[in-house]
Amino acid sequence: MVIKKVTDYEELSKKGAQFIAAQIIMKPNCVLGLATGGSPVGTYQRLIKAYQDGSISFKDITSVNLDEYKGLDGTHPQSYRYFMNTNLFDHVDIIKENTYLPDGLEPDSEKACTDYEAIIDGVGGIDLQLLGLGHNGHIGFNEPNTVFEKNTHCVELTQSTIDANTRYFNSSDEVPRQAYTMGYRGILSAKKILVLVSGSAKASILAQVVNGPITPEVPASILQLHPDVTIIADAEAAALL
Ligand code: PGA
């Protein structure tokens, strides 16, 4: 693991965008594994600027996202499809048909997950997977568990995740209790992984991810096994490293 310590969220976003822009320049038709949440928002803003000033183009990019709430339509403001459209896709020249998320409206969990596995395989492998880190160590919606679940699956969100995500809804009751998430196979098969971690609330879990045992109780600890992981952490998040 390469750990880049930066001062604050601003610098984290700048470095995150440079990392992804470099990938796009090296391979303009690459497959990006993308993430939602607060961590990548500043990075996406900088990527939009880089597109606007002509430094990069997304026209040949394919994207696969990590996860989607089960039961939310893509037009629901808290769906991850809506997040990706408004935070990135609507502002760059990516072809929407080449952007994939699990189908939150598919009520049959088995079908939703099998379909997404076929999509992950169909895009021919992820070149760069972007990740945030949950307060409980989750990546995507792979919550702390007794096993590392290999494939896309339907998860029951933990209370810690529901609490963390309540800030986006009117109340905690509105937060969906289930989500579809890419499993560890999809994430770990990416050629490169970039993790963005910001804020003091992530310091303790980040230290466990980097220095603790590899265990499904700390989902991101499995990243220790991947040959090409870069973590960009701001000073608050890196305080215990
Ligand atoms: P955050 O979420 O970027 O909003 O902190 C990260 C995550 O839960 O994966």
Residues in the chain, overall count: 241
Report pLDDT for 219.
98
Q: Which residues of the chain have pLDDT under 50?
A: none
pLDDT for res 101: 98
Q: Which residue has the tokens 């949440």?
A: 37
CB-based contacts of 220: which residues, under 8 Å, 6+ apart? 131, 133, 137, 138, 139, 195, 205, 209
pLDDT at site 126: 97
Cα 33 to Cα 146: distance, rounded to the nearest angstrom? 25
CA of 198 to the centre of ligand 1 (A): 9
DSSP class of 241:
-
- Contact (Cβ atoms closer than 8 angstroms) between residue 39 and residue 132: yes
What is residue 27's predicted lDDT score, i.e. its pLDDT? Answer: 98
The whole-number pLDDT of residue 123 equals 96
Give, for ligand 1, the residue of 78, 130, 133, 139 to mutate: max count of ligand atoms closer than 8 Å to Cβ. 133
Would the CB of 43 count as within 6 Å of ligand 1?
no
Residue 131: the pLDDT is 98
CA 36, 161, 150, 155: dihedral to nearest 10 degrees? -110
CB of 16 shorter than 6 A to ligand 1: no
Q: Is the pTM of this model over 0.95?
A: yes
Contact 205, 136 (CB under 8 A): yes
12-32 confidence digits (pLDDT tens): 999 999 999 999 999 999 999
180 CA from centroid of ligand 1 (Å): 16
* Cα(228)–Cα(223) distance, integer angstroms: 9
Of 106, 120, 99, 43, give the one whose Cα is nearest residue 71. 106
3-state secondary structure of 133: coil
Under DSSP, is residue 173 helix (H, G, I), strand (E, B) or coil? helix
Collapsing DSSP to helix, strand or coil, 131 comes out as strand
Report the nearest-CA residue for atom 8 of ligand 1. Answer: 134
Residues taking part in catalysis: 67, 136, 138, 143
Q: Is the CB of 37 under 6 A from ligand 1?
A: yes
The rounded Å distance from CA 210 to ligand 1 centre is 17
Distance CA(200)–CA(178), nearest Å, equals: 27
Q: Atom of ligand 1 at shortest distance to CA of 140?
A: 9
Q: Please, what is the Cα angle at 3 between 35 and 41, to 5 degrees?
A: 30
Nearest atom of ligand 1 to the alpha carbon of 199: 5
Task: Provide the pLDDT for residue 199.
Answer: 98
pLDDT of residue 68: 97
Q: Whose CA is nearest to atom 2 of ligand 1?
A: 37
- DSSP state, 139? B
In this predicted structure, what is the pLDDT of residue 92? Answer: 98
Distance (Å) of CA 119 to CA 53, 54, 90: 32, 30, 22
Tokens of 226: 């991947």
Task: Tell me if 199 CB under 6 Å of ligand 1.
Answer: no
Ligand 1 nearest atom to the CA of residue 165, by list position: 4
The verdict on the CB of residue 132 being under 6 Å from ligand 1 is yes
Given the CA of residue 39, which atom of ligand 1 is nearest to it?
3
If phi > 0 it is left, if psi is from -120 to 50 it is alpha, else beta; for residue 75 that is: alpha
CB 20 within 8 A of CB 194: yes
Instruction: Give strand ranges (E) for 16-142.
Output: 31-34, 62-65, 67-69, 99-100, 128-131
